[in-house]
Structure formats: structure tokens, C-alpha cells
Amino acid sequence: MANFIFRVLLTLVLSYLCNSVSGKANFKEIDEKLKQLNKPAVKTIQSEDGDIIDCVDIYKQPAFDHHALKNHIIQMKPSFDLKEERLSSKNESTKLAIFQTWQRSGSCPEGTVPIRRIRREDLLRAKSVQQFGRKPHEVVLKSNTTVEHKDGQLPSINTTALAMPVIVNRSAATLVTVGYNYIGAKADINVWTPNVEAQDEYTTAQIWLKAGPGDNFESIESGWTVNPQLYGDKRTRLFAHWTKDSYKTTGCFDMTCSGFVQTSSQYLLGGSIEPVSTEFGQQYDLTVGIYMDPNTANWWLKIGKDIPVGYWPASTLLFYLNHSSTLVEWGGQVYSSNVKKKPHTKTGMGSGQFASGLRGNACYMDNIAIVDFSMQLKYPQWVGTWADEQYCYTALNYQEGYGTLPIFYFGGPGQNYNCP
């Protein structure tokens, strides 16, 4: 009798679990999403960090699930070359190489692209199956705060203050340039692993290129992030993201939806990065560049020594960014329901130290540049710094001496004595 009762109870529990998982989604919905996300692999690599990487036929990647890309012909490489002005920082001779952990375990064959396999537990961590891989919608409170003009002792052509929106659940510390037709931006982003307090919080160090109205902008982005809800750990990872409606209903991280067309078999979007910088020790940088191909309007993502990873096909995917970006930001962002309130989150930005700590202590962006239709990499003629919560996370554009580029420092610990 006891065994019978146990079997009945077990049946009821299993039935409940099959129809509801943490109140978020049922197994059928999750399995359908996994089938959609994970494409057939030509080769599979088990990375030592726990990731499974599928080498997927380049024409069977998730991008081609998008209705606007059904008949898209892949552009295998950019059609442009960029000329870089020879201003440089004092850090240039000390650059140290980084790599992705999975690269020690294998490589993808020609004609395939590496895609991080999504597993059931990844979907179960998301707020919903539909929300998986996406940034939450940006809710703007007001836009009457201003960025003070700073030009890093370089010639300035615009000294007007810039209104910046106040956004719910996000805190940023950035360097901003605005008002021109930008068709590219780059930086060497110092790599760290800051503390992330809660599973549903994340921190980034990244570049944004934006265009369109403030409540419905388009954005393409890349850099590094620590995002335990998305990736299931607190490793520092390379990411890319896009949206065409302020994150309302479109866009995603990496390859978790259709949109980004990958061409490289070398880099893995969502893949962990190592080594990372240490306080007053070795510093490691991730070079990130995003550039529009003037012949195709595709926005290319390049990593490291000018290696094309893939592109966002703006002509079919985007509208405002089909021509150019009108705002570029470099810096960090913390997502948490506990920013701009008390008690504040302890999730760190950058290295977790304030910008005033400078090299070896604070996170930085070096060799910052934009591209305009002259097709030259150059330092922006106007820049401003901005920090949403200057007692929690700070921003500092610092120039060591004449003839060198300013280095942008940013970050902070979040909750501290002055940020309760």
C-alpha cells in the first residue's frame, strides 16, 4: 500500500514538472526552443570550461531563421580597408594577447562557424523562454541630465552639453560622442572579472553604436560581460548584441536569435576569455571594432588583430543604422533591479574599482577611435564623460601627456560607504 501511494505521488509530481518548470515554461516549450536554437553540428567540441561548441554549416546558422534573411547571400569578408592615424597611448608596447578557453580543445573546420550550444538549464534560468538571450527593455524616466563637455586636451568642435536618459535598472559610466555620421568605432577593452552579486544581474564593458529616436533606437554592441543568468557561470565572456527597438521585442546576445551572420570559425560569441587582468599585475586587452561596409551597409564585428567575426546585415535588418550611427558610447553598464536605489547592488563594473585608480587598478579603454566617411580611424573631435551614479561607478578620460591619446577609465564596486 505504501509503495502504491508513493508511485501515485511520484506520478503526480512528474506530471506537474512536465507541465510547469519553476512556473516559467513547460518542457515541450523548452524542447521546441532548444530545437530552434541548436542547429545540426558538423563537429562538436567539449570545452574545458564546460561549454559545448557546435561547428555548424555556415549557411545553417541561426541568422537564416530571420524572414528578412531567407535568401541572404553571405558576404565572406569586408570590402574595405581602414587607415589609422598614428596617435597612440603609452600602453601600446605592452599589449598582451588573450584567447578563448574553447580554443584549447579543438577548432572548427572551414565552412563552419562555432556556436555555443544552449542547454535546458540555460532556458530554465531565463525569466521566460521568449525572453531568453535578450536584454530587458530600456524604460526611460527622463532625459534632462547632461554630459559635461571634455575633449581630453584635443581640438574640440562642439561644446554643447548632451542630454542623457535616466534608465530604470541600468547604471552606466561611459565616454560619449554624438552628432555626426559615424560608420565605425573601436577600442582596446581592458579585461577583468568583476563581482556579480545576483544571478539575474550582469555587468558589461563594451562599445555601443546607436541611431534613431531615444525611445525606439537601434543599437549594435560588443565587448565582454559577466552574465550568470545567460551563461550559467561568472566567467568573463565575449558578447555581441543588437536591437532595432530599444530592446522591446527585437535583438539578442550572440547567436541566441537570428540576426548576426557569423563568417569566422575562429571566435565564439559567448565564449569565455582568458587570461584576465589582475590588480597591479599583468593587464590584458580585448580589441573590439564595429564598422559599416560602405558598399553593402553591413556592420562588421572585428576582434583582435582586425579579424572579421561576422556582421549585422543592416540593409535587411535595420533602418536608421542602414546609413550610419549618430551616437557612439564606450564604457560599462550594470543591469540590476537594485541600481539607483537603497540598498544598492554590490555588482561591480569594470575591475570593480573606481576610475581614479588608473592603470593596474581600474578598467580602461585604450586606442579609442571612430570612423567617418573618410574611412579613417581617428580619435573623436568631441567627447563627453557620463556616470549615472557617480558615487557607485565613475568615468574619467585621462591623458598622460601631449601627443598621446587619452585613455578612458571607468568602473566601481557598486555598493560602498558613499553608495549605500
Give the per-residue SS3 of 8-19.
HHHHHHHHHHHH
Q: What is the pLDDT of residue 70?
A: 85
3-state per-residue secondary structure call for the chain: CHHHHHHHHHHHHHHHHHHCECCCECHHHHHHHHHHHCCCEEEEEECCCCCEEEEEEHHHCHHHHCHHHCCCCCCCCCCCCCEECCCECCCHHHCCCCEEHHHHCCCCCCCEEEEECCCHHHHHHCCCCCCCCCCCCCCEEEEEEEEEEECCCCCCCCCCCEEEEEECCEEEEEEEEEEEEECEEEEEEECCCCCCCCCCCEEEEEEEEEECCCCCCEEEEEEEEECHHHHCCCCCEEEEEEECCCCCCCCEECCCCCCCEECCCCCCCCCEEECCCCCCCCCCEEEEEEEECCCCCEEEEEECCCEEEEEEEHHHHCCHHHCCEEEEEEEEEEECCCCCCCCCCCCCECCCCCHHHCCCCCEEEEEEEEECCCCEEECCCCEEEEECCCCCCEEEEECCCCCECCEEEEEECCCECCEC
Estimate to the nearest angstrom the gap between the alpha carbon of 330 and the chain centroid: 11
For residues 261 and 281, give the distance between their C-alpha atoms in angstroms, rounded to a whole number: 37
Task: Work out the pLDDT band at 150, boundaries 50, 70, 90.
Answer: very low
Average pLDDT over residues 74-99: 71
* Statement: residue 47 has pLDDT above 90: yes
More confident residue, 81 or 61: 61
Instruction: Give the lowest-confidence range in 46-50, 121-125, 150-154, 180-184.
Output: 150-154
Task: Work out the pLDDT band at 97, boundaries 50, 70, 90.
Answer: confident
For residues 369 and 152, give the distance between their C-alpha atoms in angstroms, rounded to a whole number: 13
Residue ranges of the domains in the chain? 168-412
Bridge partner residues of 214 (DSSP): none
For residues 319 and 341, give the distance between their C-alpha atoms in angstroms, rounded to a whole number: 36
Task: Work out the pLDDT band at 101, boundaries 50, 70, 90.
Answer: very high
Q: What is the pLDDT of residue 293?
A: 94
Average pLDDT over residues 59-82: 90
pLDDT tens digits, 121-135 = 999 998 888 889 998
Name the pTM for this structure.
Answer: 0.88
Cα Rg of the chain (Å, integer): 22
For residues 140 and 146, give the distance between their C-alpha atoms in angstroms, rounded to a whole number: 15
Q: What is the pLDDT of residue 335?
A: 96
For residues 361 and 356, give the distance between their C-alpha atoms in angstroms, rounded to a whole number: 9
Q: What is the pLDDT of residue 90?
A: 54
Neighbours of 1 (CB within 10 A): 5
For residues 29 and 12, give the distance between their C-alpha atoms in angstroms, rounded to a whole number: 20
User: How far is it between the farthest Cα atoms of the chain?
Assistant: 87
Instruction: Give the lowest-confidence range in 6-10, 226-230, 242-246.
Output: 6-10
- Dihedral of alpha carbons 228, 231, 237, 240, sign: negative
Task: Work out the pLDDT band at 152, boundaries 50, 70, 90.
Answer: very low
Query: Would you say 111 and 263 are in contact if contact means Cβ atoms under 8 Å apart?
Result: no
pLDDT tens digits, 376-393 = 999 999 999 999 999 999
pLDDT tens digits, 306-326 = 899 999 998 788 899 999 999
* Statement: residue 33 has pLDDT above 60: yes
Q: What is the pLDDT of residue 1?
A: 55
* Statement: residue 299 has pLDDT above 70: yes
Bridge partner residues of 394 (DSSP): 411
* Statement: residue 301 has pLDDT above 80: yes
Percentage of residues of the chain with pLDDT beyond 70: 85
What is the CATH number that goes with domain 168-412? 2.60.120.1270
* Statement: residue 155 has pLDDT above 50: no
β-strand 52-57 against 112-116: which pairing, if any? antiparallel
Percentage of residues of the chain with pLDDT beyond 90: 68
Task: Work out the pLDDT band at 192, boundaries 50, 70, 90.
Answer: very high
- Dihedral of alpha carbons 220, 324, 408, 333, sign: negative
Average pLDDT, the chain: 87
Please list, in sequence order, all residues whose beta carbon lies within 8 angstroms of the beta carbon of residue 16, skipping any fewer than 6 positions away: none
